[in-house]
Structure 1
């Protein structure tokens, strides 16, 4: 392929799915920087856990509601233009958060910056999902979903671990934000290796175009496969919510800032990325919904083992790293069963109907974990992480059995 064609995005050759990992990295980087780096720095500045949780949980709100503006990405501009707009907004927001003073007085300002950046950041996910839905054959959706989530969770580790490491060593807070923002911008180079996707069918009347898209979504949800996927997204099975609070509770294990940066940053990012790739490989070799449930139960088992282990820095690094692997499994499983369900066209809206629901249990679990921590310290938090996947799996199995007993209630199309 010539350089001229590459820069125009005219390549017709299928690219390695690692490209999608790089494109998805800014989505994870922002969430990691917000959850881990800001969470750590706010805790260090004396902000109570309730205030930290409000910042950590805030990016999930746009991710819950992003299906509302996903049709714009499917039906206006081009996918690559939307990606560049989102990536520039994400980088600018990361830089802005490093300028706002980190104390209780400025929490409202910080919340506003985080919320606006999160709104832009959602479009990183949507555009990459369109690209992967159209470029990857059906039998490789599990593998591709693994690479996609490797970018998500690997980026979380970069934004979190590298963010803490840089913030602890650089003289001015904005420097770490500027470096993380630059890394996010460079990830957009992955677009050079992909052609512009086929656009969704567009009518002269925009509302008619949206109507066609919504009809496709309704047909998907009415199918048994779509309905079961929707239910599975709503349950707290593989949320990985504790990852957002590790830096805030690391003191219970006497973990140093460097150990936290290592555990939730470099090691955690690599561990979760490996988990994504292995999980994606497994999903191409068994039922993808069953794989997701299995991965969520493994995540809960690791939380129990961490709860009964000694509270030492070494145990903190070991168990958070193993937990990161299981979170990678679960995230790959999620992408695999959703990509399987949605098909090729209208991918941003369809995928994000499911993704929006999947963020509800993550958002909910952060506050469940915070509540359990307030009641029973870190042990309570970890037990909550173990109990909820079991309850979620039991609920899904019940729905699955009922859907087989009453096929007329959920019509296959």
Structure 2
């Protein structure tokens, strides 16, 4: 964790806080207050800024320095967490939702600047390690703000949890302000900005979509998490309905599962550094993921009929799913950066923003409708649909462009 990796790791760590809050803390809180799965699924609409970040990526690239954007956005997130700390725990959904929306807006702006810095400062040999740092730090931030916050909520209280998160953002803001790596990259970026006028959005779009391998990669990142996202969204809530406590879910689905996701992310980066072929690794991991989902579907059909043993096995499948998700994510983000590095250097920030926006779109849209599917189709039918969707990236991988091998 020397050179650029330390400052990048700190900033990616706090970037995971909003996702952890919404995916780990908010659903359990709302379900405990009696909201339906459909209503909880629709709160995924708060992720909308992540889908729109490509629209303001030319602004982030063309106005101010990237270091300035990182300092302003991270400082704004610190303020939002401080405001969350003064909200009452009861009847707090509406103001919390607005603050989470603002946090997603600021975090998406931070992401545009941070991804552009990452693509610019890492060479091809550093991409595997760099994406391990990115995914591990982001997942660790999700653990701290999601399952971690849920597990210690009864000890520290609502105010204590958000004050700790605010402190984390404050330290990250100071890191962005003092980082030598960010200062040097921003100086180079500032020199490039002075070479000519910023491109218009239609020119940016045209340059991005015509880069080699972009269309194939865009389709892949849209579909590669569909079935997995439906399962990971619904299984914890179904277990909550069958008597598993919020604290137990916070441990299994928050701390332990996301901890194994971090291990999977490290494993993915390690395997890439060993010279393994990227597409062959992806194929093997995706096959394992489909097999895990099939097992999970059969276990759900017996939930509540065989004491607590089925519940334990379901919790273990969640842990395995998160491990595989971490490995697949690291390799997928490496694939995305390889594609971005083939785009024009002046468009690489916007190029990666488009790919990462589509990656979020695939997760958020299906996560939002997965509750509706389970409510309308039933558990068994909806999970068999998740299995079918999990096979789509395997089929698409058969047509991997030669430029991405």
Q: TM-score of the superposition, structure 2-length normalised? A: 0.83
What corresponds to 2:138 in structure 1? 152
Q: Which runs of 5+ in 2 are unaligned?
A: none
CA RMSD of aligned residues (A): 3.1
What corresponds to 2:25 in structure 1? 37
Which consecutive aligned stretches of 4+ in structure 1 deviate over 6 angstroms post-superposition? none
CA distance in 2 between partners of 1:345 and 1:280 (Å): 27
What corresponds to 1:307 in structure 2? 297
CA distance in 1 between partners of 2:368 and 2:235 (Å): 14
What corresponds to 1:350 in structure 2? 351
- Greater RCO between the two (CA within 8 Å, min separation 6)? 2
CA contact (8 A) 1:155 1:269 kept: no
374-383 vs 334-343, which deviates more? 374-383
What corresponds to 2:323 in structure 1? 325
CA contact (8 A) 2:226 2:362 kept: no
CA distance in 2 between partners of 1:214 and 1:292 (Å): 33
Q: Count residues with an aligned counterpart.
A: 385
The reply to whether residue 127 of structure 1 matches residue 113 of structure 2 is yes
Q: Deviations over 1:80-105 (max 9, x none)?
A: 221122112223334444555567x7
What corresponds to 1:176 in structure 2? 161
67-76 vs 248-257, which deviates more? 248-257
CA distance in 2 between partners of 1:98 and 1:297 (Å): 43
CA contact (8 A) 1:26 1:90 kept: no
What corresponds to 2:13 in structure 1? 25
Q: Deviations over 1:135-170 (max 9, x none)?
A: 211122122112111122222111111110122333
What corresponds to 1:261 in structure 2? 250
Q: Deviations over 1:350-403 (max 9, x none)?
A: 211101111221122213421332145554554343221213432454xx38x7
234-243 vs 315-324, which deviates more? 234-243
CA distance in 2 between partners of 1:323 and 1:72 (Å): 37
CA distance in 2 between partners of 1:380 and 1:157 (Å): 31
SS state at 2:146 partner: helix
CA distance in 2 between partners of 1:317 and 1:98 (Å): 31
CA distance in 1 between partners of 2:379 and 2:167 (Å): 35
Counterpart selection for 2:122 from 131, 136, 145: 136
